[in-house]
Structure 1
Amino acid sequence: MDKIVDIVRAIGEPTRLRILVLLARGELAAGEMSTVLNQSQPRVSRHLKLLAEADLLERRPEGAWVFFRLKTDGREGRIIRTILDEVPKDDLVLVRDLERLAQVRAQREEVARAYFETAADEWHALRRLHQPEALVEARLVEAVTGQHFGLHIDLGSGTGRMIELFAPQARRAEGVDSSRKMLALARARLDDTGSGQASVRQADILALPYDDDCADLVTIHQVLHYLPEPQAAIKEAARILKPGGTLLIADFAPHTYEELRQAHAHRRLGFPDQEVTNWCEQFGLVVEAVEHIAPDAGQSGLAVTVWKAELPLSQPASVIQERLESRIIS
């Protein structure tokens, strides 16, 4: 009883209830919530501290930023859902909050889009600066040595390098990206390599234009750190994978290069192994291997982690039901 009273007491304040409504829409940084709520950051931070102490939020410091995510499991998650279900959707304060939230998200996406359009011509040079690229690519290929795929889908395809890399193993390949300039560069690259069974298309990787269970291989290469909700991309990858299909993810290990956020629109400064593994397992995937790739001694660059996951041929009924429900909700 004491725990329930503590939870209800933490929620029982207008600003804190508004915060829960906002976080029900996805992860936000403290500064973003300050903008949406039109309150000072110290005041918002105090409310966030009280909610976190009641175990209602997951708090994730990252460089100079702190991100918050709503607790969704356990008693806390059930109480939050029950209360939020009773919140009137036409409340004027909340309507204004959600309007400002949409503006914050639009600004965030515009910054990322402007960066991609500006950086497209320098994409390969940027990636070489950030990581041991050739070694990462070799590890990705080794992870599926001897396998052949009917359809390979690359999420956030950039200039099409992943399509080119797996072309010998894929009968057909499609890349998805939101940047028209990137797509133009990818098409030029694929034309030069003669990959006649490969194509790219403009689409949102969080709402893919593909049917369920259609892909044999999905790759997500250096994309997750740009996304405000990276787990949503993994959810979509799991949705489109065939049973027995493979998901390959390559992204930065945790680091402290804050300038990448400011200069290159990185939303996340790398990912712990278990965080990505948990997301994969949440959507019915089995992580078979996790490998760390660091620059050689004396060389610059950031460490990269490669995750290999598969969608089992047969899954427990509970997992199948969860996947179905997640598709209906989305």
Structure 2
Amino acid sequence: MDLLHFKALSDATRLRLVHILLHYELSVNELVRILGMGQSRVSRHLKILAEAGLLASRRDGLWVFYTAPPGGEKLAFLRAVLPFVPPDAIMRADLVLAAQILEERARTTRQFFNAIAEDWDELNREVLGALDLAEVAGAALPAGCGTAVDLGCGTGAVLSRLLPGAGTLIGVDGSARMLELCRRRFQPEDLASGRVSLRIGELSHLPLRDQEADFACINLVLHHLPVPAEGLAEARRIMSPGGTLFLADFLAHSDETMRSRYGDHWLGFDEATLRASLERAGFRPGPPRREPVGRGLTLLLMTATAC
């Protein structure tokens, strides 16, 4: 490391930024809110840190998100230096507010899905066009599967398609209204016996035991999560070694209307980035399949094995 890196950290505001972004990935507007400073001032400090290689940035449509470097010498440098800057009350308060902002993201998503639950199936058809995603996900279910889980099951279109091939079925969603509609797809005896279990919960804190699932699917859900990596890590936690994960999500795009109409947080994902995220979470992804769908979007379909 040279003098440039130490100069980049020689400012109290930039130390605050690095301290926050070692813990979270946040947008410029969110950082402005946390620091209580003007956007131009915050952007100038972010630029200095990014030019020194001490921050990584990612554009998602009109938004730019910052975080610490994903690895390598620059991250090692920050982790070596920051212990010599014990967090004061201001820096601790920064992390509290950052966590509150992420919770607000999740709460906004829950409210959105409760509000549009009745129209969700029609909205999905508008995006997917002729693609029968439930059929594709069902085809990924291994023969003789014990416990299958649909993470972010919504109104249960995919979950009900999994029922014939699984011993036990678990659906998880953060929207109580979605789960209420999902429940109508199943026979009362399947619900009463526990063969079908519907559970409310966040994908970042799944209401499942370690290694409870033999198969899990995440369909058009990852782009709604405030921190997608947390959802993938939780998916790995609840899966037995050798279990199968099926993931369907959009390839990176620039259709900003997806945020307002469908509650999307991320405008899809780069294929290489998604593969890397799966590997970091403890999966071995197979080759992806691309399917053109509605609104000019492309769906990435991936199957991965829990290592």
> TM-score, length-normalised on structure 1?
0.86
CA distance in 1, matches of 2:255, 2:162: 30
How big is the alpha-carbon RMSD for the aligned residues of Structure 1 and Structure 2? 2.1
2:75 matched to which residue of 1?
77
Match of 1:305 among 276, 294, 300: 300
1:122 matched to which residue of 2?
119
**Following TM superposition, by how much is the alpha carbon of 1:191 offset from its aligned partner in structure 2, in angstroms?**
3.5
> TM-score, length-normalised on structure 2?
0.92
In the alignment, structure 1 residue 294 sits paired with structure 2 residue 292: yes
CA distance in 2, matches of 1:273, 1:174: 28
1:244 matched to which residue of 2?
242
Amino acid at match of 1:176: V
1:228-287 per-position Cα deviation (integer Å, ceiling 9, x unaligned): 210111111112211110001111111111122234321100011111110111122111
1:86-111 per-position Cα deviation (integer Å, ceiling 9, x unaligned): 4434x122133234324423432332
Moved more, 181-190 or 224-233: 181-190
CA distance change for structure 1 residues 121 and 87 in 2, over 3 Å: closer, same or farther?
farther
> Retained in 2: the 8 A contact 1:158–1:182?
yes
DSSP 3-state at the match of 2:131? helix
> Retained in 1: the 8 A contact 2:24–2:98?
no
CA distance in 1, matches of 2:9, 2:185: 53
**Following TM superposition, by how much is the alpha carbon of 1:308 offset from its aligned partner in structure 2, in angstroms?**
0.5
2:107 matched to which residue of 1?
110
In the alignment, structure 1 residue 142 sits paired with structure 2 residue 118: no
> Retained in 2: the 8 A contact 1:245–1:311?
yes
1:61-107 per-position Cα deviation (integer Å, ceiling 9, x unaligned): 11111111211411111121223334434x12213323432442343
1:158-211 per-position Cα deviation (integer Å, ceiling 9, x unaligned): 112221121121110111112111111111222489676212111221122333
**Following TM superposition, by how much is the alpha carbon of 1:292 offset from its aligned partner in structure 2, in angstroms?**
0.5
DSSP 3-state at the match of 1:18? helix
Amino acid at match of 2:165: Q
In the alignment, structure 1 residue 63 sits paired with structure 2 residue 58: no
**Following TM superposition, by how much is the alpha carbon of 1:48 offset from its aligned partner in structure 2, in angstroms?**
1.2
DSSP 3-state at the match of 1:134? coil
Q: What number of residue pairs does the alignment pair up?
A: 305
**Following TM superposition, by how much is the alpha carbon of 1:49 offset from its aligned partner in structure 2, in angstroms?**
1.4
Amino acid at match of 2:108: V
1:172 matched to which residue of 2?
168
> Retained in 2: the 8 A contact 1:158–1:183?
yes
Aligned sequence identity (%): 33
CA distance in 2, matches of 1:84, 1:219: 39
CA distance in 1, matches of 2:103, 2:74: 30
CA distance in 2, matches of 1:122, 1:250: 21
> Retained in 2: the 8 A contact 1:127–1:133?
no
In the alignment, structure 1 residue 205 sits paired with structure 2 residue 203: yes
1:299-323 per-position Cα deviation (integer Å, ceiling 9, x unaligned): 64521111100024xxxxxxxxxxx
Match of 1:98 among 95, 98, 104: 95
2:149 matched to which residue of 1?
153
1:322 matched to which residue of 2?
none
1:111-168 per-position Cα deviation (integer Å, ceiling 9, x unaligned): 2122111111111111111223634333333334x62310111111111222112112
Match of 2:256 among 243, 255, 258: 258
CA distance change for structure 1 residues 266 and 153 in 2, over 3 Å: closer, same or farther?
same
User: 1:3-14 to 2 correspondence within 5 Å?
Assistant: 3-14=1-12
DSSP 3-state at the match of 1:157? coil
> Retained in 2: the 8 A contact 1:131–1:303?
no
Amino acid at match of 2:95: L
In the alignment, structure 1 residue 189 sits paired with structure 2 residue 185: yes
DSSP 3-state at the match of 1:286? strand
Gaps of 5+ in 1: 313-330
Amino acid at match of 2:40: P
> Retained in 1: the 8 A contact 2:102–2:226?
no
**Following TM superposition, by how much is the alpha carbon of 1:58 offset from its aligned partner in structure 2, in angstroms?**
1.8
